[in-house]
Amino acid sequence: MLSFSGKRLLGLGHRVSAAAVVGRGYHERVVDHYDNPRNVGSFDKNDSSVGTGLVGAPACGDVMKLQIRVDEESGKIVDACFKTFGCGSAIASSSVATEWVKGKKMEEVLSIKNTEIAKHLSLPPVKLHCSMLAEDAIKAAVKDYEAKKAKHLGNAEAAQVEKA
């Protein structure tokens, strides 16, 4: 089982060689995301322009956190990062998800389907739920941002009403 990819940044994990990959059956794109993790990290949860999606798959005890930074005026996602504890397929799925949401509008990313992610990574049927988890994480992040925005607006309105 592959663990949190952040560990690899510190050079503590061991590399999965290409030969081993062929034997074990991970697609090269999955291995690529594991060897060269992109967008691993964290944003400040309390930042008003950040939406956080935290999802889990009870079957394997995986946890996935996906965060998006949204530009308020354009409604576009300018940055994204993730942190996933789970198998290689789950890590790769969330990594792909962060890559795909960058530069897109929030409505657009809601249409990203898990089947697309699974196809991109050539996930076997037994790992399809990992891509589903990534799709759910995107939706949860967007939902969180919207909720924050609504609350923020609500607070601002209340403040204005009070002033007036």
Q: What residues act catalytically?
A: 60, 130
85 close to 3: Cβ distance less than 8 angstroms: yes
Quote the CA–CA distance of 38 and 6 in Å, as a whole number: 10
Q: Does 43 participate in binding another protein (rule CB under 8 A)?
A: no
Q: Is 60 in the site for another protein (CB under 8 A)?
A: yes
Q: Round to whole Å and give the CA distance between 61 and 64.
A: 10
Measured from the CB of residue 102, what is the shortest distance to another protein in angstroms?
23
Return the residue of 112, 132, 138, 142 that touches another protein, per CB under 8 A: 132
In whole angstroms, the minimum distance from the beta carbon of 73 to another protein comes to 29
- The token pair at 142 is 């967007």
Q: What's the CA gap between 98 and 91, in Å, rounded?
A: 11
Per the structure block, which two tokens stand in for 92?
A: 């790769």
Binding status of residue 56 toward another protein by CB under 8 A: yes
Nearest to 69 by CA among 134, 130, 148: 148
The distance of closest approach from Cβ of residue 139 to another protein in the complex, given in angstroms and rounded to an integer, is 10
Segment near another protein (CB under 8 A); pick from 14-22, 25-33, 58-66, 72-80: 58-66
Q: Is 3 in the site for another protein (CB under 8 A)?
A: yes
Least distance CB 8 / another protein (angstroms): 11
- From the list 19, 23, 46, 59, which residue makes contact with another protein (rule: CB under 8 A)? 59
- Residue 16 binds to another protein (criterion: CB under 8 A): no
Residues at the interface with another protein (CB under 8 A): 1, 3-4, 6-7, 54-63, 65, 83, 85, 129, 132-133, 136, 140
